[in-house]
Amino acid sequence: MTSTPPPRITNLGHDVFEIDTQMGGYTGITAGYLIRGERPALVETGTALSAPVVVEALTALGIDADDLATIIVTHIHLDHAGGVGDIARAYPRATVVVHERGARHLADPSRLVASARRVFGSDMDTLFGELLPTEAERLHVIGEIGEINLGGGRTLTAFHSPGHASHHLGLVDSQSGDLYTGDAAGVYIPETADVRPSTPPPDFDLELSLESLQHFRDRQPTRLLFSHYGPVDAVDEVLERSVEELTRWVELVRADRDRGADVDHAVAMLRERMASSNRAVVDMPDVAHKFEVLSGAQANVEGIWRYLDSSTA
């Protein structure tokens, strides 16, 4: 029987706590966040396999079974929402907040799980586990914008931020000014401060992504909280780098494609470019490996390729 690893919790101030959800046993790549106020809220559950880690962390932070008021997922990809069913069962009074385009897949995850299993194969069992269904009556659905009550006059504003996924939400805390980025601003590698785009199929759209990043800026957050991974105070700088890297990746793949290359060639090209420009790839192979497991070049190129196909159709 595999024992649950000890929780890794970081106090970020403003009653916000980062919980390392330790996807696939890797540390420092997937985060959930507890906002511990009058109405405690968990942002991101991590995977189904992460649920015991998250429950142990919440218990250590004083959150008992009847205390958690809200569970929020920025989108329904399994590294963010795979543990929703388990966490909802552990905290039966909590409402689950999700974008309207993702809600049906939490109520009946069979198609989502089958699709993920086709992509990941046997790795599905070691990285994610099985997403359990959540009762439809417990889902609170957000469309373009909505408010989540944290108690004491504190709210989270949830707003549609497509581009990475059609069912993606950004979240802004009225008290702390924190903006929960999900995957819309890409992947932040804290060891090197590199920003890496996240462009998987089937939903990636460059124009929508850039619009969402501008929307993030317009919200004037004081801090970014990345699901991958951690807090960032240099808001404008990192959002600008997100725009630059995202645009650069798309243009690199577009140019390779226009020269007649196939997807495999574009993947190799992108990996070579990353090796020459990304400090994690050059200096920290272990760090580079775990972020490749999280958000691999193959899936990212396939997402960009699909976007290019649809935009030229």
Q: 313 falls in which pLDDT band (50, 70, 90)?
A: low
In a domain, 52, yes or no: yes
* Average pLDDT for 196-201: 95
For the entire predicted model, the pTM comes to: 0.95
Q: Within a domain: residue 250?
A: no
Does 221 score more than 90 pLDDT? yes
In a domain, residue 176? The reply is yes
pLDDT of residue 279: 66
Is 294 domain-assigned?
no
Domain membership flag for residue 277: no
In a domain, 261, yes or no: no
pLDDT for the residue 17: 99
Q: What is the CATH number of the domain that holds 49?
A: 3.60.15.10
Give pLDDT, residue 273. Answer: 87
> 16-25, 137-146, 265-274 — which is least confidently predicted?
265-274
Answer whether residue 257 is part of any domain. no
Grade residue 101 by pLDDT with cuts at 50, 70 and 90: very high
Confidence class of residue 117 from pLDDT cuts 50, 70 and 90?
Answer: confident
Q: Quote the number of domains for the chain.
A: 1
Report the range of poorest mean pLDDT among 53-57, 73-77, 117-121, 169-173. Answer: 117-121
- Classify residue 4: in a domain, yes or no: no
Q: Identity (one letter) of the amino acid at 157?
A: T
Host domain of residue 89: 9-244
pLDDT of residue 307: 98
